């Protein structure tokens, strides 16, 4: 069994044994599961093809921040679909999904094994008996992996540090506001840097005269 996850925006939400259990309950034998995504990224031109491939699905898109499956299945995919020439791994897996007529590769539509931040709405962060935090559905289900893709990764440190009284991360309550605050702070930092550089440049020009 191989597990591919992003390097710095993923929370291990449970144990490896739990991931194996989720996989066994969700995937067909030998199948590769890939995380569901909110949008068709990075190439929106293939969105109609993805919707046609998975009719009736509201979000028929994949996110390569998480993949799980047998090593032999990955080798088979890489043999059938050479990865050379692809600059984006997520686009590669979307093209693999479109190209195959079998179900060797499938999207984890029910977020059983992994879940992206955009689908946290029905979940709660709860502090367990050992003091760790875990993302849990009201019915007790726990995806093994919680992923914070794209701009949502700026919320990850706060999620790991704090929860509010209901167990839902405070950062989750105002994600758009926090995103704007982050961008505003970044813009101010860039502006200050530009001003400092302009002052230093002006001083150097005076010295040159």
pLDDT at 53 over 60: yes
Q: Are 159 and 131 in contact (CB under 8 A)?
A: no
**At 59, is the pLDDT very low, low, confident or very high (cuts 50, 70, 90)?**
very high
Which residues make Cβ contacts (< 8 Å) with residue 47, sequence separation at least 6? 40, 61
Residue of 81, 84, 103 lying closest to 93 (CA atoms): 81
First CA to last CA distance, the chain: 68
Domain ranges for the chain, please list them: 1-169, 174-209
Does 173 have pLDDT greater than 60? Answer: no
Contact call for residues 12 and 145 (beta carbons, < 8 A): yes
| pLDDT band of 57, cuts 50, 70, 90 | very high
Per-residue confidence (pLDDT) for residue 193, from 0 to 100 = 92
Assess whether pLDDT exceeds 50 at residue 86. Answer: yes
Let me know how many helices (H) and strands (E) the chain has, helices first: 7, 9
What is the pTM assigned to this prediction?
A: 0.75
pLDDT of 152 above 50? yes
SS3 breakdown of the chain: % helix, strand, coil, rounded to 5? 45, 20, 35
Strand 114-116 relative to strand 145-147, pairing: parallel
* Lowest-confidence region among 46-60, 125-139, 178-192: 125-139
Cβ neighbors of 46 (< 8 A, separation 6 or more) are 40, 94, 95, 98
- Cα–Cα dist 140/91, whole Å: 33
Given this model, what pLDDT does residue 177 score? Answer: 57
Please state the separation of Cα 91 from the chain's center in Å: 14
**CA dist., res. 91 & res. 62, Å (int):** 9
Mean pLDDT over residues 111-136, rounded? 84
- Between residues 82 and 125, which one has the greater pLDDT? 82
- Above 70 in pLDDT, residue 179? no
> Would you say residue 163 has pLDDT above 60?
no
């Amino acid at each position: 069994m191989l597990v591919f996850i992003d390097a710095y925006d993923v929370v291990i939400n449970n144990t490896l044994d739990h991931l194996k259990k989720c996989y066994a309950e969700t995937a067909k034998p030998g199948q590769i599961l890939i995380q569901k995504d909110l949008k068709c990224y990075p190439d929106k031109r293939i969105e109609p093809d993805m919707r046609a491939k998975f009719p009736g699905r509201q979000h028929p898109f994949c996110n390569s921040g998480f993949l799980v499956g047998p090593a032999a299945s990955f080798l088979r995919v890489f043999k059938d679909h050479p990865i050379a020439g692809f600059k984006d791994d997520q686009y590669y897996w979307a093209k693999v999904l479109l190209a195959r007529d079998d179900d060797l590769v499938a999207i984890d539509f029910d977020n059983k094994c992994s879940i992206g931040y955009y689908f946290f709405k029905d979940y709660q962060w709860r502090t367990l008996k050992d003091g760790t935090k875990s993302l849990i559905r009201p019915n007790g289900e726990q995806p093994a992996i919680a992923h914070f893709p794209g701009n949502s990764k700026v919320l990850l440190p706060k999620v790991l540090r704090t929860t509010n009284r209901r167990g839902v991360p405070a950062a989750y309550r105002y994600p758009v506001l926090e995103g704007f605050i982050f961008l505003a702070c970044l813009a101010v930092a860039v502006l200050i840097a530009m001003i400092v550089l302009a002052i230093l440049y002006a001083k150097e020009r005076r010295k040159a005269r």
